Amino acid sequence: MDLGLKGKVVLVAAASKGLGRAMAEEFAREGAKVAMCSREQDAIRAAASEIAKATGAETIPIVADLSSAKGCETFVSSALEKLGRIDVLVVNAGGPPPGRFEELTEETWDKAYQLTLQSAVRLTRLALPELKKTKGNILYSTSTSVRQPTQYLNLILSNALRAAVHGMLKTLSKDLAKDGIRVNAIQPGRIKTDRIVQLDTDTAKRTGKSLEEVQKEWETSGVIPLGRYGDPKEFAAAAVFLASERASYITGVSLQVDGGMLQAMF
């Protein structure tokens, strides 16, 4: 299926590894030009080079710390300078640290706020003038925990702040429809990434279990009906579809990619 992404310019935030990298590579395989950022110079250059070599697509590595206003500005302005337009903005960021409410300081809350919510606000604001020209679209990568936060009692930072992102995107989806801009979100469940290993390791420490026991419990307890963790490529395929011309009548949607784990009807 031709997704209509060939030659489009896509910005993928936090793309040196994990879900960000998987999405960047999938867009590249569809023929898009991909600008991708990370705060780690060596990591983002290596990821961009490997994706370009594997797909033949043009990839632009940009060093930017999205937890700051300057970093967000650097990412968008550098991408525009090198690629000249924006057709798709993928807002993604590393998840805030795990912890129960009583364990988290005000400083920790502020850092999570800057990275999880403010990066979404800033990147959207910066890219919006260009997206209006191209009638492009925005995709926010978040988490299924915004619909069922009690699955993760030690992820209150993520649960609280990603919910705010969803409130913003739902409002924007209606407000920007008149400009031909679609706004959606994609919610990963248990996808095999370093982030999930971090969370499973935290659970292991809290429960006195091994990492292997924690992972096996997720896969065999029935919590994930498909009985396994997802592959980043599976998540990326769904993300790229939502951002493509084939999804031209879809806006304001939050799509979970979780093997059936989410139990909520809506």
Catalytic positions = 152
C-alpha span between 49 and 53 (Å, rounded): 6
Report the amino acid identity of residue 132.
K
Q: Over 39-106, what HEC string results?
A: CCHHHHHHHHHHHHHHHCCCEEEEECCCCCHHHHHHHHHHHHHHHCCCCEEEECCCCCCCECHHHCCH
Distances (CA, A) of 103 to 118, 148, 154, 157, 234: 23, 21, 10, 11, 34
The H or E element spanning position 140 is strand 137-141
